[in-house]
Amino acid sequence: MKNQVDRKKGLKNTLIAGLICLMGGIFLTIIFNFLGAIDTGFIQWMNLTVSQLKIWQLFLLSPISVVFGLGILFLTLRILSYILGGNARKKFWRF
């Protein structure tokens, strides 16, 4: 009985973490859309060429996209292991 309660609690925590990740992704999308709207002003302000701006965006976006990609992968594996149950959970997670 305790195992089933722990399982529901873990699934609830996983779903909450997934919702937080989605809300963070939506928030970042809004921010980057806003940044895209002021790109022209930014180019003029920094006196950047287009290639320099692309490099700047690459350095800004790469770490964020890697973190969110890993978070989504982790959550997907976690939810799949709860759906499969039993041995799959023990195989994926040692805790």
Q: Which domain holds residue 37?
A: 2-92
Of the candidates 51, 53, 59, the one whose C-alpha atom is nearest the C-alpha of residue 41 is 53
Residue range 47-92, pLDDT digits in tens: 666 666 666 666 666 666 666 777 777 777 777 777 776 665 555 5
Alpha helices (runs of H) in 38-49, residue ranges in sequence order: 39-46
Q: What pLDDT, on the 0 to 100 scale, is given for residue 95?
A: 46
Domain count for the chain:
1
Residue range 1-21, pLDDT digits in tens: 566 666 677 777 777 777 776
Q: Is the pTM of this model over 0.75?
A: no
- Highest mean pLDDT, choosing among 28-32, 40-44, 90-94: 28-32
Do residues 78 and 14 make contact, with C-beta atoms less than 8 angstroms apart? yes
Do residues 71 and 20 make contact, with C-beta atoms less than 8 angstroms apart? no
